[in-house]
Amino acid sequence: MAVIFLPKFVLVVYSSVLTIRSREYVEAARSLGAGSFHILFRTILPNIMGPVLVQFSLVAAAAITLESGLSF
């Protein structure tokens, strides 16, 4: 089931990172001399956790339904 639901997570993370990467506060951190890892873990990652958690809750419900259908 992980193979089935993984592309949805990848799509959500990729689109969120592309959106956040173009924001002004990321450009400000880059202009202040922050490194790539600092920008990724301190700026981008906290801002994409909302959509990822929502996607996780939707996928968890679908996985439970799928697993119960398979065990029936």
Residue 33 region, left (φ>0) first, then alpha (ψ -120 to 50), else beta? left
Residue pointed to by tokens 């929502």 = 54
Give domain limits for the chain.
2-71
Q: pLDDT tens for residues 7-59? A: 999 999 999 999 999 999 999 999 999 999 999 999 999 999 999 999 999 99
**pLDDT average, residue stretch 57-63:** 93
Rg (CA), the chain: 16
Residue pointed to by tokens 């400000």 = 28
pTM value is 0.81
pLDDT of residue 2: 82
